[in-house]
Amino acid sequence: MKTIILGAGESGVGAAILSKKAGHEVFVSDGAKIADGYLAELAAHDIPFEQGGHDEQRVLEADLVVKSPGIPQEVPMVRAIRAREIEVISDVELAYRYKGDSKIIGITGSNGKTTTTALIWHICRHGGLDCALVGNIGKSIARQVALDPKAVYVTEISSFQLDDIRTFRPDVAVLTNITEDHLDRYGHVFERYVQAKFNIVKNQTASDHFIYCADDPVTMNYINKFNIHSIKRPFSMKREFPKGAFISNDQMTVGGQDPITMGVLDFTLRGRHNQYNTMAACLAASVMDIRKEKIREAVTTFESLEHRMEKVASVRGVEFINDSKATNVNSTWFALESMTRPVVLILGGVDKGNDYSLITELVKEKVRAIVCMGRDNSKLHKAFGEIVPRITDADSAASAVHQAFSLAEKGDIVLLSPACASFDLFRNYEDRGHQFKDAVKAL
């Protein structure tokens, strides 16, 4: 089989290695320059490649194309491939085809999926399962299947990966929530984005499990519009679900034959949004038959992730928090909702069609000043210029940190929670977070 891997990032190189191991005739094509580390890997596995452009004739001779999720559907090369009716799949679909008897816990959603994925993996590992943490959160699932197979793959999955699945079927599917995000990739049609998220359950059977938030209005508005065959496991703070999970009077209950109960004050993750993430994770662990004592222990020992409400340092009474992973308005809403002290907020980056009115009331209530960190901050000034006493501009993390520190008072929190993508000033949200932390440490 002639397999073309389109894109040579983590997912693409992982897919190339798995394809080569599976006996495919593999060729990697990337329109940009391939990073040195990935070039070395391709050479080590004797996988031919091109970079800085596509040999269209060679690509269009493929039997199968594995498209990296970062490549939009509308680019000319992808359009040409589809016009030839060549099968296009994502790396998660490829991994599924070669995973053998291993199980997959697949997690998607607009917000909270990375934390939920990491917590599920932590619980599964603590519970004694032979498991890997893969997908958007780290190494690709295809790479893991090829080089270090596990019994369970705890996989964070983006809507872009779900766009290109055919047979992919997770044993446990988790949908944390759906809010407006990435609409620029879906022609600004929200329903297309919703469809992509619900693709995670489209191949599930009656023996699989679907875990979802019953308090999320978008999920509940669309759930009955899809033909779902799996066992539904809702979680909620508003209703009690005997076969799901719920929180009432600061007590979490995870249903089943042997219910799990624990107080939310025992969770290491703080904030209302993380209570939802913890319910989802505990539900996933319970359907994997992990003992409730192990689940309780894991929830009380989990450490929050880098770039997700990460406490960086306290400088002369001002606390700095790195929430660089907040790349949409809803993520910033959750961050602000959890604040109990006055905030100097660092916002900005590449706007993805954001509706900042969603955080207006929280900004009025909790934010002392805003530092806009991006190349074009006009939309932020328009949204918040009349409701925040001070709003300034910065063109780097160092400048943003210095300005925020000068605007803060003792006891305040400087919160980097940008509500935007990072690609105008930074390589990615990790780079943004690292530069923020470096600037704080240099104060």
pLDDT one digit per residue (tens) for the chain, 443 residues: 999 999 999 999 999 999 999 999 999 999 999 999 999 999 999 999 999 999 999 999 999 999 999 899 999 999 999 999 999 999 999 999 999 999 999 999 998 999 999 999 999 999 999 999 999 887 899 999 999 999 999 999 999 999 999 999 999 999 999 988 777 788 888 999 999 999 999 999 999 999 999 999 999 999 999 999 999 999 999 999 999 999 999 999 998 778 999 999 999 887 888 999 999 999 999 999 999 999 999 999 997 778 888 889 999 999 999 999 998 898 898 889 889 899 999 999 988 788 899 899 999 999 999 999 999 999 999 999 999 999 999 999 999 999 999 999 999 999 999 999 898 899 999 999 999 999 999 99
User: Do residue 56 and residue 176 come from a single domain?
Assistant: no
User: Do residue 314 and residue 295 come from a single domain?
Assistant: no
Residue 350 token pair: 């590449």
* Domain end residue (candidates: 65, 89, 113): 89
* Domain end residue (candidates: 89, 115, 141): 89
User: Do residue 229 and residue 160 come from a single domain?
Assistant: yes
User: Do residue 268 and residue 203 come from a single domain?
Assistant: yes
User: Do residue 395 and residue 434 come from a single domain?
Assistant: yes
Residues 330 and 75: their CA atoms lie apart, in Å, by 29
CATH classification of the domain holding 57: 3.40.50.720
CATH classification of the domain holding 353: 3.90.190.20
Q: Which residues pair with 421 in a beta bridge?
A: 350
Please report the DSSP string for 63-92 in residue order: SEEEE-TTS-TTSHHHHHHHHTT-EEE-HH
Q: Which helix (H) or strand (E) holds 263?
A: strand 260-263
User: Do residue 17 and residue 115 come from a single domain?
Assistant: no
Q: What are phi and psi of 342, to 5 degrees?
A: -55, 145
Please report the DSSP string for 173-193 in residue order: EEE----S--GGGGTT-HHHH
Tell me the per-residue pLDDT of 72-127, one tens digit each, with 9 for 90 and over. 999 999 999 999 999 999 999 999 999 999 999 999 999 899 999 999 999 999 99
Domain that holds residue 100: 93-301
Using only C-alpha atoms, the chain has a radius of gyration, in whole angstroms, of 22
Residues 242 and 193: their CA atoms lie apart, in Å, by 30
Residues 366 and 335: their CA atoms lie apart, in Å, by 11
Amino acid at 422: S
Residue 267 token pair: 């969770």
User: Do residue 108 and residue 122 come from a single domain?
Assistant: yes
User: Do residue 180 and residue 327 come from a single domain?
Assistant: no
Number of domains the chain contains: 3
146 three-state secondary structure: helix
* Domain end residue (candidates: 301, 328, 347): 301
Amino acid at 240: E
- List the one residue out of 347, 113, 81 whose CA is nearest residue 213: 113
Paired sense of beta strands 172-175 and 209-213, if any: parallel
